[in-house]
Amino acid sequence: MEFLTAAAFSFCIVALLVPLLRKVALKVGFVDQPSARKIHRSPIPLMGGTALYAAIIGALFAFQGVTPLSKTICIGGLILIVIGLADDAAKAKGKDFPVWPRFWIYLAASAVPLCFGIHISGLSGPKGFIMLPGWLAVIISVVWVFALINMINFIDGVDGLASGVATFSSLTLFVAALIKGQTDTALLAVVLVGACAAFLIYNFHPARIFMGDAGATFLGFTLAVIAVDGAFKSATLVTVAVPLLALGVPILDTVIVMLRRLLSGKGLHQADKLHTHHALMRWGLTQIQTVSFIYLIAALFSLLSIVLLLALS
């Protein structure tokens, strides 16, 4: 019952905040301007990420209190929201925010979980728990969080895509945490489900607000932390596949895009139209058809991860 209440709490905060933030963004010109690389043809407010952050942090502290997990999401998320809003402000003025400052700040945010003891420490095997060397555990943990921050940001290119995929992923990680008896992680995951579901009301096509880089990077960070604190904890070599499948859509999309950029000789950080959703739309699918197709893939990945976890529990 507490999980349902927490999800409803975060849902309501987003549902109430988004209309207010939308009005503010339109009034001050904090909007995503159309361009050759963008799909939308009119300015769209960019403050949605602020609502997601407020809802998730508010629900976490209300239902979980001050814990290592809530402090991690609060501090790491705040870093990403601030730099994301700066990036979004540059977009609103038709400018590009420099890549390297973002890189180092994303890296700093990725290290925040380590400060609160949240990291991938090893794998369970037939002979007991196999502990990773400290330096390797740090590298793997930071790389994982850094990768997810960028992966969710990469797929945020079509109305409702990032928020919808995050809903599927967080719901899957919630079920996985329940199965493993990880109540704190389950609470964070279900709070994320509620916030993303509410945001979809305003973000599905035709979108009335975007989450912006602030929201997308924060979602990626939160999903990465949920996986590290939950599905990766005491994982075996086989059950490592559970979080990888739960987050299969952004992972697969990033791998495909990076390979395409390498083969075409483009910079790996350079924005383009090589993502899966761009390819589907070039093939003639509408935005709704594209998003629905990717939702189906996300649902299949989620189902596979849960089936795998249940089979091995």
209 closest CA partner among 198, 194, 225: 198
pLDDT at residue 234, as a whole number:
74
Question: Residue 149, class by beta-carbon neighbours within 10 Å (0-12 exposed, 13-18 middle, 19+ buried)?
Answer: buried
- Secondary structure (3-state) at 171: helix
Q: What is the pLDDT of residues 132-160, one digit of tens each?
A: 898 999 999 999 999 999 999 999 989 99
Say which DSSP state 247 is in. T
Query: Domain range for residue 249?
Result: 2-312
Q: What pLDDT sits at residue 38? A: 61
Token pair listed for 178 = 């329940």
Q: Note the pLDDT tens digit of each residue in 185-225.
A: 999 999 999 999 999 999 999 999 999 999 999 999 999 99
| The predicted structure's pLDDT at residue 286 | 93
- Please return the burial class of 88, using the count of CB atoms within 10 Å of its CB with bins 0-12, 13-18 and 19+: buried
Residue entry with tokens 């299949």: 300
User: What global pTM score does this model have?
Assistant: 0.94
Number of domains making up the chain: 1
Instruction: Output the pLDDT for position 161.
Output: 96
Amino acid identity of residue 278, one-letter, is H
Q: What is the pLDDT of residue 111?
A: 98
Please give the helix or strand (H or E) that residue 139 lies within, else none. helix 134-155
- Counting as low any pLDDT under 70, the low residues of the chain are 35-41, 125-127, 265-274
Which residues lie below 8 Å from residue 79, measured CB to CB, with a gap of 6+?
105, 108, 109, 112
Which amino acid, residue 4?
Answer: L
